Chain A
Amino acid sequence: KQEVTQIPAALSVPEGENLVLNCSFTDSAIYNLQWFRQDPGKGLTSLLLIQSSQREQTSGRLNASLDKSSGRSTLYIAASQPGDSATYLCAVRIWGGADGLTFGKGTHLIIQP
């Protein structure tokens, strides 16, 4: 069964730093991988979706990469801001996976002003 691991579980950095969040998965036969942001007490907001045929996706200061062969994805956040403080989750969908995504437990990010 697909397992998704996110490292680190928590991260605190000063404002302005570039940072990388990691996501690894055990089954490389994925259909897509999605990164989400969750603020306390809120639902998940989709940040980036990477299809299996793609290597990366970019949106503003965010860049997500995908390496299926090694079972890894990274989310790069450039010039971090206090408003980026949130929990970031990655999730993967396998081929034929009608039952949705498998989620990691998330990385809790704090950007210090």
Chain B
Amino acid sequence: DGGITQSPKYLFRKEGQNVTLSCEQNLNHDAMYWYRQDPGQGLRLIYYSQIVNDFQKGDIAEGYSVSREKKESFPLTVTSAQKNPTAFYLCATPSFTGELFFGEGSRLTVL
């Protein structure tokens, strides 16, 4: 089936550690996005990539890093510099009509 796969679904991190969230899509879409969702807030854009080997900062990029070496993959690293990393992270990709499709999300908890 075509879709977006995020892993892991749940992740626990100690303070000072970097963690990487995986996002893979087999929809052959060019663009991919990472959003963060906190209770009571709308989704906020972390990073986005329009094409392989290119990515741009979103509204809340500080403390995060990404890479886009393959069309299918857009991993997000939450670094120790991110001051409040506990959140629900969502990866998404738009179709050619602009319809946005999401993965199931990854919940990161800092212990």
What residues on B are CB-neighbors of A45 within 8 Å? 102
A99 to B104, CA, bound (A): 21
The contact string, 1 if C-beta is below 8 Å from chain A, for chain B 99-111, is 1111111010000
- Chain A interface: which size bin? 20 to 34
A105 to B39, CA, bound (A): 9
What residues on A are CB-neighbors of B88 within 8 Å? 41
Q: Which of B90, B98, B101 contacts A31 (CB 8 A)?
A: B98
Do A49 and B90 touch across chains, with their CB atoms under 8 A apart?
no
A-side binding surface: helix, strand, loop or mixed? strand
A89 to B97, CA, bound (A): 19
Do B42 and A43 touch across chains, with their CB atoms under 8 A apart?
no
CB distance from B16 to the nearest CB of A (A): 27
What residues on B are CB-neighbors of A104 within 8 Å? 42
A113 at the interface (CB under 8 A from B): no
Do B104 and A42 touch across chains, with their CB atoms under 8 A apart?
yes
Do A93 and B50 touch across chains, with their CB atoms under 8 A apart?
no
B78 at the interface (CB under 8 A from A): no
Do B101 and A46 touch across chains, with their CB atoms under 8 A apart?
yes
A41, A98, A100, A103: most-surrounded residue (chain B CB, <10 A): A100
CB distance from A20 to the nearest CB of B (A): 20
What residues on A are CB-neighbors of B103 within 8 Å? 43
- For A52, give the chain B residue with the smallest CB separation: B98
B2 at the interface (CB under 8 A from A): no
10 contacts between A and B (CB under 8 A): A32-B99, A34-B100, A41-B105, A43-B102, A43-B103, A44-B90, A46-B99, A46-B100, A100-B33, A104-B42
Give chain B's interface residues, CB within 8 Å of chain A.
6, 31, 33, 35, 40-43, 45, 48, 50, 56, 58, 88, 90, 92, 94, 97-105, 107
Give chain A's interface residues, CB within 8 Å of chain B.
4, 31-32, 34, 36, 41-46, 49, 51, 89, 91, 93, 98-106
Excluding A100-B45, A100-B48, 18 further A-B contacts by CB distance (< 8 Å) are: A34-B99, A42-B105, A43-B90, A43-B105, A44-B102, A45-B102, A46-B100, A51-B97, A51-B98, A93-B98, A98-B31, A99-B48, A99-B58, A100-B92, A101-B100, A104-B42, A105-B40, A106-B42
